Chains A and B, each alone.
Chain A
């Protein structure tokens, strides 16, 4: 090949890199390994992590059973080794799957349109707030303190340079947004109110009441949903203008925090302010149905600095996992699954309430709750590790006002025996 190109050596092809800029020897990285060695290296790392524990962690990353057909299907090379469907004639598989995803997300959230994924729930919530700014032409957002703390941190990072002001509103005794404080905080300069439901404490918000407060002042309501399985049994926040969802619960491994898939769903009238890719139905020359990427004049590759977002690569394969998951459970299964989560959590609340103090009992919850204890949360968790149980998420870093408190999550995968064992230690 070198001869055909007309050069003497491979070095000639790198002539544009000045000799004194070139790496002279080997990079200082581990030597080349055989496949068996790579397997072994990661098996050792895997074994150094928690293995064989029952975990009661949630807080934005949820353990649900992952039907095996998910990995079987997403492992097809035609799906996972393709890229963004720029050539629709040879990407109808990806495009149709995304169209199905958009449809199912609309069904679940009660919204009219959904995009083909953001990076995760935190960036989806953030982009939803930026979108509300564009729609309203205002730059102040009111954020509930019961929104996932890391989502709020991401929003703060983005907001800093957008000239946005963020106001925070606290929660009441029952764990819900303090409506009186919210009413005061929302002004005619507020672009949106951001809440999460179920909120970070697992408590379900009254989205309708919050929407009234926001809409009265011409602000939008953005609802973040971190635990998507809740939508199987909880009324979707149809009063919201934008829903920012994390789809991890739908068959995506917790995977030490990623990759996950965020989604933005909204009303049709706001679609042109929506970030991210969208797939639309159309016809070919013979009138046959087909799907294409559409409304791309919102996007960076066309609009450059005037785009709705800088997002390019998204989370398509993760969205496909979620699509397969939603298809496996279907209309009935998603409710049955959600109801099991509800039952396990109701049972756990009863048991944990015997020795510890379960907070926020005045409002309905889905599959998480906060327990306040006399003992330090980390000390309790250390005791539980001996019983192969990973306890709840200590809240001291994010909510020091709650004292010794931790957030516990119960799903269809939480065995009663482990719930009973944990309840005994949570004092």
Chain B
């Protein structure tokens, strides 16, 4: 296969750039402080032996402002983002991050609001929290919500602690959480932190919850089932009402991992389908930027029975009609984070909801599902589809056909980079051996999808005709595949000055 089959990308010069510490040179400055308007102090007199002496100073880089701008600009160009193109990481919902969200989040009265400033000077911020809460409660079909958790996994923990507190109030917190084998790793890790044992629930041949197995496994020891819906293979649990019934009959609750809510927004409300508590990922469904790993935000919505246990504080309307924080909540699980959560993400998520409205949210969901099904249709057969069940917002293939030539999912992913795309999610979910998990989101045009589909087809052909090309990919990046084993065996986790002189 020659490079002319690569339609989306062309290689071009990119700048070399060392570490910022390596550019440091004494005396360079990128700052200027105003003159002190109070008397200066004798530092050693104030701090005594706690003074950080010059010889103990933190060796932070000394560079000029343009060097800073060039450094971070240069290294940024080595990244791929949603702004660069399709970023089909399954389960991550890499959708467009609207610029208006960034602008409003930086407004002085919002970005400059101190969490402890008087409530009467925080009414605007609290109105945002209140309106976002109302919208998310409506979208999920729940009764109450907390915006405090800082990310999805943090929301999971909050949700399971709500379950625990509720069951404790009923006399017995119980021992186990059931988790399907298709679940994200955060689910079992969360259950463990909440003090529960994890019991695996096997999926059936459709990749769905096996109701017969579930019926057997739900005992009086089970606190809850953590269910991702749609599941990590993109399949909607059509029997969710029955799943909830089976749990409720034994006094257990249904937790829904809302990571895949982008498939459901405006189409169905989990709260009306038997779900007792769920988290949302504002950085997935509600378009707050992923930021190279975060920040996220993981609000938890729940039914009335769980409301007394929500983290403190909650926003309430006071008798004079203004908003305030209510701290006196005797049954609360307590705090899960200082202050009120990632407020900057709340602002952005609300801006997204306002930009969409009810019709926009519905169309967003429809487009996301349409795009995923289009990719599925076009690539089925070229890549094996292990579960034929109808899927919503994402599709999971496997590498069985390509493995015949020795090529694995991770290799195809690397070759996609040469074609100008970020790769899909590799080797997850665990129930699919050699998984390729693709989630295009609603943000992509048909043209971008077609380029991706062409690239995937072309790579499949390469796997047949010249597997070496795929096995050694990527070929066009500034560095080739990195030695991860060496990184883990001889960890170098920071730069050191002497390391440089030794190399010279």
Q: Do residues B267 and A14 form an inter-chain contact, with CB atoms below 8 A?
A: yes
Q: Do residues A258 and B293 form an inter-chain contact, with CB atoms below 8 A?
A: no
Bound-state CA distance A320–B153 (Å) is: 22
Restricting to A323-379, which residues have a CB under 8 Å from any CB of B?
A: 324, 326-337, 339-340, 342-344, 346-347, 364
Q: What does the 1/0 interface line of A48-79 toward B look like (CB < 8 Å)?
A: 11110101010111010001010111011111
Binds A, one of B81-89, B401-409, B456-464: B81-89
Residues of chain B within 8 A of A381, CB atoms compared: 118
Binds A, one of B21-29, B210-218, B248-256: B21-29
B56's closest neighbor in chain A, by CB? A235
Q: Do residues B107 and A46 form an inter-chain contact, with CB atoms below 8 A?
A: yes
A180 at the B interface (CB under 8 A): no
Residues of chain B within 8 A of A47, CB atoms compared: 109, 124
Binds B, one of A80-88, A138-146, A188-196: A80-88
Q: Given A157-B334, A347-B38, verify A231-B52 contact (CB < 8 Å).
A: yes
Residues of chain A within 8 A of B378, CB atoms compared: 4
Q: Do residues B186 and A310 form an inter-chain contact, with CB atoms below 8 A?
A: yes
Shortest B376–chain A CB gap in Å is: 8
Q: Do residues B138 and A28 form an inter-chain contact, with CB atoms below 8 A?
A: yes
Residues of chain B within 8 A of A120, CB atoms compared: 150, 337-338
Shortest A271–chain B CB gap in Å is: 7
Q: Do residues A161 and B351 form an inter-chain contact, with CB atoms below 8 A?
A: no
Binds B, one of A147-155, A167-175, A210-218: A147-155
Q: Do residues B156 and A42 form an inter-chain contact, with CB atoms below 8 A?
A: no
B478's closest neighbor in chain A, by CB? A92
Bound-state CA distance A39–B495 (Å) is: 43
Q: What does the 1/0 interface line of B151-165 toward A look like (CB < 8 Å)?
A: 111101100010010
Q: Do residues A27 and B60 form an inter-chain contact, with CB atoms below 8 A?
A: no
Q: Given A120-B338, A153-B334, A279-B493, verify A258-B24 contact (CB < 8 Å).
A: no
Q: Do residues B150 and A93 form an inter-chain contact, with CB atoms below 8 A?
A: no
Bound-state CA distance A14–B235 (Å) is: 11
Bound-state CA distance A18–B30 (Å) is: 61
Residues of chain B within 8 A of A344, CB atoms compared: 36, 38
B1 at the A interface (CB under 8 A): no
Restricting to B5-61, which residues have a CB under 8 Å from any CB of A?
A: 19-21, 24, 26, 28-31, 33-34, 36-41, 43, 46-52, 56-61
Partner of B150, one of A63, A258, A286, A326: A258
Q: Do residues A284 and B479 form an inter-chain contact, with CB atoms below 8 A?
A: yes
Restricting to B232-285, which residues have a CB under 8 Å from any CB of A?
A: 235-236, 238, 240-241, 264, 266-269, 272-273, 281, 283
Q: Do residues A151 and B358 form an inter-chain contact, with CB atoms below 8 A?
A: no
Partner of B482, one of A63, A81, A290: A290
Partner of A364, one of B46, B117, B267: B46
Residues of chain A within 8 A of B209, CB atoms compared: none
Closest 7 CB pairs of A and B: A257-B339, A77-B83, A32-B357, A317-B291, A46-B109, A161-B195, A316-B293
Q: What are 5 A-B contacts with C-beta separation under 8 Å? A: A23-B268, A27-B361, A86-B89, A162-B195, A331-B24
